[in-house]
Amino acid sequence: MTLTELSREYRAEEQKLTNQIDTFLPYAKSLSGDSRREAYRRLACLYEMRRDVRMTAESLEHYYDKSPKKRVYHKNNGYFPTSPRRLS
């Protein structure tokens, strides 16, 4: 499977999640009390899953782009000291 095919799979999953959200949202709005809170919690999970799927698809689509990546860390020496420390 190529990255393009994998990206298409993620886009299809994104569309399925969008359909689930669109179907479930009117139902959640009609509820009240604890059931409404639980429904909105489920919706929040669906929104988060869709965001993650969308970000993965975008990252796969632009995997070979030549744009420079921003470093997450600043210096390695903070994590990997050059001289070993003695425990005394």
pTM value is 0.70
Q: Which distant-in-sequence residues (6+ apart) come within 8 Å of 25 by Cβ?
A: 43
**47-57 exposure pattern, b = at least 16 Cβ within 10 A, e = fewer:** eeebeebbebb
For the stretch 28-86, pLDDT in tens is: 999 999 999 999 999 999 999 999 999 999 999 988 887 666 655 556 555 555 555 55
What pLDDT score does 7 carry?
94
Every domain of the chain and the residues it spans = 3-61
